[in-house]
Amino acid sequence: MSKDLYVQNHYNKIAKNYGLRSDSTLRDPFIREVEVDFIVANIFEFVAKNGYFPKVLDAGCGNGYTLSCLREAFPEMPLVGFEYNRELLKLAKSRNLANCKLFEHDIRLPFKEGDFDIIITERVIVNLHSRKQQLSAFKNIFGALNKTGWYILIESFQASMDELNILIQENSQERIYPSQHNFYLKLGVWHKMLKLGFKQIEAPLEENFLSTYFVLTRVFHPMLHSKGEKRINSRLVKFFTQGLAPATGDFSPIKLQVFQVEK
């Protein structure tokens, strides 16, 4: 089975089993909430700096959950979303979001040049199974942003996953791996992305904001339970998440980053 077909089959099952649920593509409500809050906070920052509502593209919008949150937060802001998986796209369209254009598209192919103020990818680039494909996606994002556009990147990085696994194995636990349909970003691709003309800018949250949470849920919490038992968002984890500094170390594969284009 080709990698593309494997990914498509995976998301067909996700669409069938999870429908419009917020945890459709990520079964961790805390991380999902942080991601959406990060996106919303950055849009508020954009409005404060520029004095107008941006035209926003959710590139790889899934079942439209993030777009629905943005519509609620910004009723008048123009929204656009595209999705490669047809079953997920059907779900997104079923939301009937006002002033929101949805269409089928592959992020590896160019889309409308210079048309957007903000483009979001939320765990999308990791579905592309070669460095060449990932870099092509970044080139297409760069091309579709206007001269002062922002790119909100929420993606997983292999280097941070490696750091997390070192900590896991130091505590006599089995290392964890990305899902089979994921291909985490390597720093070499990230640096090539910067050379396209992306400049990282200050964001409302630290890029490693989820680091402490990953240590709690992937290292500390499993030590308290039997092998194979999965608990993510227990009361104990919530207690420590609220009481400890969030951005400690580099143990979260998921990074929260914002870039402005330089054209």
Helix axes 29-50, 65-73, angle to 10 degrees: 40
Q: What would the pLDDT profile of 141-167 be if each residue is shown by its tens digit?
A: 999 999 999 999 999 999 999 999 999
Label residue 134 exposed, middle or buried (CB < 10 Å: 0-12, 13-18, 19+).
buried
d(CA 123, CA 59): 10
pLDDT band at 199 (very low <50, low <70, confident <90, very high): very high
d(CA 253, CA 128): 16
pLDDT band at 244 (very low <50, low <70, confident <90, very high): confident
- Which among 26, 28, 35, 22 has a CA at the least distance from the CA of 217? 28
Token pair in block for residue 200: 């990282």
Q: Which amino acid is at 204?
A: P
Res 231 pLDDT > 60: no
Res 208 pLDDT > 70: yes
3-state secondary structure 126-174: HHCCCHHHHHHHHHHHHHHEEEEEEEEEEEEEHHHHHHHHHHHHHCCCC
Q: What would the pLDDT profile of 16-64 be if each residue is shown by its tens digit?
A: 999 999 988 888 999 999 999 999 999 999 999 999 999 999 999 999 9
Q: Which residue has the tokens 């959710």?
A: 58
> In terms of DSSP bridges, do strands 56-59 and 116-122 run parallel, antiparallel, or are they unpaired?
parallel
Which one is the CATH code of 3-156+181-206: 3.50.50.60, 3.40.50.150, 3.40.50.261, 3.40.50.970? 3.40.50.150
| Total-model pTM | 0.93
Domain boundaries, the chain: 3-156+181-206
Give backbone dihedrals phi and psi of 237, rounded to 5 degrees, phi first. Answer: -65, -40
